[in-house]
Structure 1
């Protein structure tokens, strides 16, 4: 992949990530920390030549979290790992180390078959995930999606790490809420989406008499098998669709 370029450079010739972010015009649809993180993602896309970039903020030991993304119209790269429950970002977060997958369709992508299938379907050929952490405290990940296979250059890796560090500083200095206590725009939609999935998870737990964990596993498996997003399936469950049990018929959704 081509070296990162554009923007000011420091005395060592490396690009200045702060200048890159500052040059991104703020989105009028976002505010607060969501706006700052979205500008960071857009800087990553522009200067690293990516298909998309995502910051995922994850709860300790969880895979739900909040997402801020910079990607093309109609894209949903930020939802893939939540939908399938696995991926390079989750591994990066858990292990607190970068996970660099230069060819997602190759053997390196086989560790996450659900993610591999869903991401390649959206044109993703390589994924590079960097943890957002400070010491032993992990906040989430910066995930970069490339449209063609290939490794990152030394400068690109340096820039991605620098952007991840800036993301941590933004999280420490900023807030996900506005002065009136409301969520920053950009987080609101994601929280509503996660709430719908949680509601559907509870309904499946009751309908099939299974644990919450098993209910989520069945939702993800059913969504994957039907080619649906987890959010779309959750909508259907809330509207009355009942997932089939191991020995029961499907009700409420036409095939």
Structure 2
């Protein structure tokens, strides 16, 4: 049995033990890879990359920043289809100034690599892998991360084919409540401001950035009618 075959067996066993689905894949990635945390983001129409799971609060915080400012390693990984490493999350942020500025007020540090979830030209999102210590992942660890990303992509493709074939829900496609709220809020902004759908998402993101809130927090406030975009 090859090393990749052993890694596949370990990941699938950890995935089953973790309950399956995207959340289980996050937990399984941490168990089988030399990383301390993981997250999976999905590229959603108009909303951009949105976190569907995070293995802990630290990863969740970084993913919320990416979703809010619309830039960062996962955004680039989805756009380019290649892994995007970050040697130190506390380091200079010339590449993503908004992302770096938002992280500057936190104690987040260590390394990160965003691995695209892709099949040919199709890009579903990214698997974000975190290590506590700054520095790059070694070649073997990155190869293992790419393999796990391929396994996750295969599960997403299979889930989509099952949904299209049977019209049944699948836990791999279970959209988080935060994402649902963002899409609902965007629809409300369209109705309130008479803007296009892309503009509605842009307004939500701009409001979040300007008020020091996450995109999900603004969405929940709009849905709860605490924030409105009338006449803007």
> Fold-level match, TM-score > 0.5?
yes
Higher Rg of the two aligned structures: 1
Distance 1:75 1:82, change over 3 A: closer
Shift of 1:87: 1.6
Does the aligned pair in 2 maintain the 1:131–1:141 contact within 8 Å? yes
1:238 paired with 2:219, answer no
Shift of 1:201: 2.3
RMSD: 3.5
1:184 paired with 2:174, answer no
Q: How many residue pairs get matched?
A: 229
Q: Deviations over 1:23-42 (max 9, x none)?
A: 426367x5xxxx24444322
| Alignment partners' CA distance in 2, 1:156 and 1:112 | 25
Shift of 1:142: 1.4
Partner residue, 1:113? 97
Shift of 1:153: 0.8
1:165 paired with 2:150, answer yes
Compare 38-47 and 67-76 and name the one that shifted more: 67-76
Shift of 1:151: 0.8
| Alignment partners' CA distance in 1, 2:221 and 2:48 | 22
Relative to its length, the structure with more helix (as a share) is 2
| Alignment partners' CA distance in 1, 2:135 and 2:59 | 25
Shift of 1:70: 2.5
Shift of 1:229: 1.9
| Alignment partners' CA distance in 1, 2:199 and 2:67 | 15
> What are structure 1's unaligned runs of at least 5 residues?
1-8, 247-255
